[in-house]
Amino acid sequence: MNNCKIHIGEMIRRECLRQQRGATWLAARLYCNRVNIYKIYSKRSIDTDLLYRISIALDHDFFADISRGLTQRP
């Protein structure tokens, strides 16, 4: 999957912006430091357990977004 166009950190960052939620807000819900949130934003992929927790915190199904990306490939 080296040619993967999905950048999950960017997807999470955009959803936070859409909801007008800052890194500090998300960090509090994930019980971590806001610096860790900025690290997540920079990652192309993350652990599924962490993605699940982020999905719950933001009330957004990132797994569905990824799945749609797979079905919309050329």
| pLDDT tens digits for range 9-22 | 999 999 999 999 99
| Residues 27, 38: Cα–Cα separation, whole Å | 10
Model pLDDT for residues 45-73, shown as the tens digit of each residue: 999 999 999 999 999 999 999 998 777 65
Phi-psi region of 32 (alpha: psi -120 to 50; beta: other; left: phi over 0): beta
Q: Is residue 53 part of a domain?
A: yes
Neighbours of 62 (CB within 10 A): 19
What's the CATH code of the domain at 38?
Answer: 1.10.260
What is the extent of the structural domain holding 48?
8-71
- Spatial contact of 46 and 8, defined as CB atoms under 8 Å apart: yes
Q: Is residue 2 part of a domain?
A: no
- Tokens 């199904």 identify what position? 61
What's the total number of domains in the chain?
1
* Res. 2: pLDDT tops 60: no
Q: Is residue 3 part of a domain?
A: no
- Spatial contact of 6 and 63, defined as CB atoms under 8 Å apart: no
